[in-house]
Structure 1
Amino acid sequence: MNLRKYNTFIFDCDGVLLDSNRLKTAAFYQAVESYGDQAAEKFIQYHIENGGVSRYKKIDYFFNDILKVTIENFEKERVLELYAHLVRDGLMKCKVASGLHALRKKYPATLWMVASGGDQKELREVFEARNLYQLFDGGIFGSPDDKGLIVKREKESVNFLHPAVFFGDSQLDHKVAKQEDIDFIFVHEWTEFSQWKKYCDEHQVLSINNLAEIS
């Protein structure tokens, strides 16, 4: 696979750079299970079907569309804080994508950036602690900004180098890339999108198992 034509690599984090999808799913369940198993199960289904959407939008959906209740901000903040606490330890221990450092060495002149649905402050702290921060000279970006907004904003910045390719593991990642006329590669090893192969076939999306495949 020839990636030398690209001057910027954009990476989703969960499921692409870190094996963190399932630990976040488990954390979401634990964060809302006090509201009942049925509501928690519905929420997890929504979460998996909407990979790449920020935790802030997902928790809003839980209260507004699943529970259909109006709550005080402090209650929503309590759930978000519990989720963040549960996730933090997992992010510090989960597997980093095989071949990541080799890929950086193979493409030393390429601008690398992260566009994630994960919390931006949390991402930067975890990447710093795990000695990954320096790989991403184009920046590490996440929520509360929407992923589509992040990519659009950075694409229009003076630092962005065209052309670019987006490595993602969700329908949303592909949608964002397509909206911004950026090439896309689906990374499926850790995806929670069970229909990824059918989706890639139908949309003529190139796929790889993991980053080691191209490093």
Structure 2
Amino acid sequence: MSKIDLTQYQTLIFDCDGVILNSNKIKTQAFYDVAKDYGHKPAQILKDYHIQNGGISRYKKFEYLLTNILQKPIETQELNKLLSNFSKEIKKELLICEVAKNIKELRDKTRNTKWLIVSGGDQDELREVFEQRGLGGYFDGGIFGSPDDKDTILKREKNKENITGKSLFIGDSMYDYQVSIALDMDFIFLTAWTDFYKWEDYFKGKYIQSFKSLPELISL
């Protein structure tokens, strides 16, 4: 394992699911449960699509369910019902799921660095969950999520100079890697809670560092 000096960064950007919260499996099951009213097959296809497209917002995934899997036009009322049911499915679990250990120690180690959350999760939901779990105060740069996608959020926050200087994105999906590299950010991949099961094959030959979880970064 190579050492990395986190204090060299002016900005640290964290994904939420699979990085701060052990919540990937919660959301994977919720996609299936919400879609199962359409039948097992559409629900399973959506679940598989979700796993293959980690980090993409639920808005895009339920649009995919309607237009690609069910091959029907998007009706706002139906889409909103799916989104509402999904939020209800996961909300309680997000308030009790495992949180990455030693976040305070990592924050203390990088006290001169701005922290942001940039997630595919719903922004209002994220902010409420982080506040209730006592995590919101660590992220002085803000907590951001869907309906905007990560690429849009990162570009916007860079343009606003909320993301400045040398930046590091800590994520657990292929999409996290792609958006960070496209915006000339360094990237660390966390393996312990990811549901990107072919990550070793995907990253082979690419210059990235991987660690099991956030606590490993504290000892570096």
**Which TM-score applies when normalising by structure 1?**
0.97
Q: Deviations over 1:12-37 (max 9, x none)?
A: 00000100000001111110001010
In terms of mean alpha carbon deviation, does 29-38 or 68-77 score higher?
68-77
Contact 1:54/1:146 (CA < 8 Å) preserved in 2? yes
State how far apart, in whole Å, the 2-side matches of 1:200 and 1:93 are.
32
State how far apart, in whole Å, the 2-side matches of 1:63 and 1:189 are.
32
Contact 1:31/1:82 (CA < 8 Å) preserved in 2? yes
Give runs of aligned pairs for residues 52-201 of structure 1, distance below 5 A: 52-201=55-204
Q: Deviations over 1:164-194 (max 9, x none)?
A: 0000000000000011000000011100000
In the alignment, is residue 41 of structure 1 matched against residue 38 of structure 2?
no
Contact 1:165/1:182 (CA < 8 Å) preserved in 2? yes
Report the Cα offset of residue 72 of structure 1: 2.7
Other structure's SS at 2:7 match = coil
In terms of mean alpha carbon deviation, does 146-155 or 198-207 score higher?
198-207
Contact 1:189/1:210 (CA < 8 Å) preserved in 2? yes
Give every structure 1 segment of 4 or more consecutive aligned residues whose post-TM-superposition deviation is greater than 6 Å.
none
State how far apart, in whole Å, the 1-side matches of 2:135 and 2:125 are.
13
State how far apart, in whole Å, the 2-side matches of 1:115 and 1:65 are.
27
Partner of 2:16: 13
Task: Give structure 2 stretches of 5+ with no counterpart.
Answer: none
State how far apart, in whole Å, the 2-side matches of 1:125 and 1:99 are.
21
Taking structure 1 as reference, are residues 71 and 146 closer, same or farther at Cα in structure 2, changes over 3 Å only?
closer
Task: Give structure 1 stretches of 5+ with no counterpart.
Answer: none
State how far apart, in whole Å, the 1-side matches of 2:70 and 2:133 are.
37
Match of 2:209 among 191, 200, 206: 206
Report the Cα offset of residue 139 of structure 1: 0.5
Report the Cα offset of residue 96 of structure 1: 0.6
